[in-house]
Amino acid sequence: MSSPYAVELKEVTKRYNEIVAVNNMNLTINTGEIFALLGPNGSGKSTTLKMLLGLVQPTAGSINVLGIDVQKDPVAVKRQVGYVPESPNIYEFLTGIEYLDFIADIYGVPPAEKQQRITEYLKALQLEGREGDMINSYSDGMKKKISLISAFLHKPKLLILDEPINALDPRSAKIVKDLLQELKMQGVTTILSTHVLEIAEALCDRIGIMYQGSILALGTMNELRSRASLPNSGLEDIFLKLTGTGDLRAVVEELLR
């Protein structure tokens, strides 16, 4: 029976020897939702995202993505997902156009559509004229743009984006944010992880805050404000209070000594 959710994790645990990276996690993400997965470094976010893709196997529990059991058929999941890691690992000995051509072929994008989509994305993200250059000559921002294009090219049903706006110029960041909103209207689900909390607050329907391998808080901005008893606050204050790092004055004062 197919799941009504785009993503469903049931009692998922991931251990690395003695370290519990994800601890008995239950989470559902709705189809067409923009969902933020936040948390301090080491909270289990990246491990969770990699388990959704089948790149990391859970120690226990089940993961269902787009109606597919990830452990049983990880390749079927990857066909329908666009993934941008925090640090894109791109074949730098290729030119930008060679890399995008290669990625589109892997996903089976028809030749005519492939050319049109690549051209449109290169123009939108201001890479026109640089697509013939070797990727190893690109700036970090240009590499991020190529990584984003490669995630969007095959029209995935689910996007998993780790720090998608990081290193982008303001214009390109705005285009990516607007594109995610348009894709949402088409039923595409986005999961993003970011340390730039303003992006999560402005863009996401719901936010999950991870801490020490578990979901500490989950909900809309208003629900999180209520949970943190901070009725008029932004996400930064809520995040710091819920993760127990609210009063940072002593840390700053210590640094200034």
For residues 10 and 72, state if they share a domain: yes
Residues 148 and 171 in one domain: no
Q: Which amino acid is at 137?
A: S
Question: For residue 246, what pLDDT is reported?
Answer: 59
Q: Are residues 171 and 147 in the same domain?
A: no
Strands (E), the chain: 5-16, 19-30, 34-38, 60-65, 68-69, 81-84, 158-162, 189-193, 206-211, 214-219
Is residue 201 assigned to a domain? yes
- Closest by alpha carbon to 61, among 93, 30, 21? 21
Task: Dig out the tokens for 239 from the structure.
Answer: 């995040």
Structural domain ending residue among the three candidates 155, 175, 208: 155
Point out which residues pair with 14 in neighbouring strands.
22
Same domain, 74 and 95: no
Among 155, 185, 206, the domain-final residue is 155
Of 134, 155, 176, the domain-final residue: 155
CB atoms within 10 A of CB 90: 18
Together in a domain, 102 and 14? no
CATH number of residue 54's parent domain: 3.40.50.300
Q: What pLDDT score does 196 carry?
A: 87
Is residue 251 a part of any domain in this protein? yes
In a domain, 171, yes or no: yes
- The number of folded domains in the chain is 2
Instruction: Please state the length of the chain.
Output: 257
Whether residue 169 sits in one domain with residue 224: yes
Are residues 9 and 131 located together in one domain of the fold?
Answer: no
Residue 99 lies in a domain: yes
Domain that holds residue 112: 91-155
- Mean pLDDT of successive 10-residue stretches along the chain, which has 257 residues: 82 95 96 95 92 95 96 94 89 95 95 94 94 95 95 96 91 93 95 91 94 94 92 89 74 76
Distance CA(122)–CA(83), nearest Å, equals: 18
Same domain, 146 and 179: no
d(CA 92, CA 20): 34
Q: How far apart are CA 62 and CA 70, in angstroms?
A: 8
Residue 119, sorted as left (phi over 0), alpha (psi -120 to 50) or beta, turns out to be alpha
Q: Which two tokens stand for residue 161?
A: 């984006």
pLDDT at 2: 56
217 and 245 inside one domain? yes
Position 56 in a domain: yes
- Asked if 172 and 251 sit in the same domain, the reply is yes
- The reply to whether 161 and 185 lie within a common domain is yes
Residue 86 inside a domain? The answer is: no
For residue 142, being part of any structural domain is answered with yes
Let me know if residue 85 belongs to a domain: no
Q: Do both 97 and 212 map to the same domain?
A: no
Would you state the pLDDT for residue 1? 46
